[in-house]
Amino acid sequence: MQIRPGIELANLTDIGCHRPENEDYYCYFEPDRESDFQRKGRLAIVADGMGGHEGGQIASRIAVERLRDSYLAQPDGDPREALIAAFRDAHTAVQDYAREHPEFQGMGTTCTTAVLRDNQLTYGHVGDSRLYLIRGSTISQLTEDHSYVQRLVREGALTPEEAAVHPERNVLTSALGIESGVRADFSSEPIAMEAGDVLLLCTDGLHGLLSDQELLANAAAPPAERACRALVETAKARGGFDNITLQILRIL
Q: What is the pLDDT of residues 56-112, one digit of tens each?
A: 999 999 999 999 999 999 987 799 999 999 999 999 999 999 999 999 988 999 999
CA distance to 77, 229, 247, per residue, from 91 (Å)? 22, 31, 22
Mean pLDDT of 25-36: 96
Residue 90 placed within a domain: yes
Counted domains in the chain: 1
Contact status, residue 1 vs residue 221, Cβ threshold 8 Å: no
- Residue-number span of the structural domain to which 38 is assigned: 9-142+175-251
- Backbone phi and psi for residue 34, each to the nearest 5 degrees, phi listed first: -65, -40
Sign of CA dihedral 199, 203, 206, 211: positive
d(CA 209, CA 241): 9
Indicate if the pLDDT at residue 14 is higher than 90: yes
Q: How far apart are CA 162 and CA 127, in angstroms?
A: 19
182: pLDDT strictly greater than 90: no
- Indicate if the pLDDT at residue 172 is higher than 90: no
What does the pLDDT read at residue 181?
Answer: 66
Which H helix or E strand runs over 222?
Answer: none
Sheet of strand 198-202: strand arrangement? 7-14, 244-251, 198-202, 130-135, 138-141
At 219 the pLDDT is: 97
SS3 at position 54: coil
Q: With cut-offs at 50, 70 and 90, classify the pLDDT of residue 1.
A: confident
- Is residue 111 situated within a structural domain? yes
Least-confidence region, from 162-171, 177-186, 235-244: 162-171
Q: Can you state the angle between helices 55-73 and 79-100, rounded to 10 degrees?
A: 140
Residue 151 lies in a domain: no
Asked whether residue 24 is assigned to any structural domain, the reply reads yes
Residue 171 banded pLDDT, cuts 50, 70, 90: confident
Whether residue 161 is contained in a domain is answered as no
Q: What pLDDT score was predicted for residue 90?
A: 97
| Digit-coded pLDDT (tens) for 187-243 | 999 999 999 999 999 999 999 999 999 999 999 999 999 999 999 999 999 999 999
The rounded distance, in Å, linking the Cα atoms of 66 and 88 is: 10
17 found inside a domain: yes
32: CATH? 3.60.40.10
- Does the residue 162 lie in any domain? no
Per residue in 116-165, pLDDT (tens digit) is 999 999 999 999 999 999 999 999 999 999 977 777 767 677 777 666 77
Question: Quick check: is 192 in a domain?
Answer: yes
pLDDT of residue 167: 67
